Every structure is written in C-alpha cells, then in structure tokens.
Amino acid sequence: MSSIGKLVKQAARAQQQMAEIQAQLATRTVEGTSGGGAVKVLAKCDGSIVSIKINPQAVNPAEVPLLEDMLVLAVNAALEQAQKISSAEMGKVTQGLQLPGMM
C-alpha cells in the first residue's frame, strides 16, 4: 500500500475514533466546587454545564457578589477539568498518527 493510502486509512480511523470519543465525552461528567462546597457545578466533558447547586446556607442577600464570584470559580474549575480529560482522550487517538508538517 502506498504511503498516501496508509495516511488516508490512518486519518479515517483517527476520525472515527475521535467521533466515538467525543460521544463518550458528552456523557462523562466532572464536578467543580468553591466556597468549601457551598457551590457545586456539574459539567460534561464536552464543555456544557449540567447543573449548579448552591447550599441555601451560603446565600445571604448582602453576599450576592461573593456568591457570583464563587459560581464563576466553580464553573471554571469544572470546565478546566473537563478540558483536561477531553484533551487526554483525544491525544490517545492522534498519538501514533504521522501527519506531514505536524509534530
């Protein structure tokens, strides 16, 4: 088989594997917390937020700005964890693929 034929076959296989991994990642969830667990965010590894839970004891009308900051921190923590998992899984597919011009 020619090297171009091998490359095309490898690319097709990698594309199929990546589609399968993306489907799996869409069902995998991670959790980010802040404020000692007062705010919890559940995210999917495809980058979507599933839920945000706030401990009712954490809410005081005077502390809404603090709560908003904790939400941002928890969401970003969950999305960062999801991105790391997603990158690691996708890296497994492309690890052995030799593409011209790619390192």
Establish if 100 belongs to a structural domain: no
| pLDDT at 102 > cutoff 80 | no
Establish if 103 belongs to a structural domain: no
Establish if 52 belongs to a structural domain: yes
Q: What are the pLDDT digits (tens) for 75-93?
A: 888 888 888 888 888 888 7
CA 58 to chain centre: 27
Establish if 49 belongs to a structural domain: yes
Establish if 102 belongs to a structural domain: no
| Mean pLDDT (whole number) for 45-73 | 84
Its domain, for residue 64, covers: 3-94
Q: Give the number of domains in the chain.
A: 1
Amino acid at position 57, single letter:
Q
What average pLDDT does the chain have? Answer: 83
Q: What is the CATH number of the domain that holds 9?
A: 3.30.1310.10
Q: What is the pTM of this model?
A: 0.58
Residues 6+ apart with CB under 8 A from 45: 25, 26, 28, 29, 30, 82, 85, 86, 89
Alpha-carbon gap, residue 96 to 73, rounded angstroms: 36
Taking the CA atoms of residue 74, residue 49, residue 56 and residue 33 in that order, the dihedral angle to the nearest 10 degrees is -30
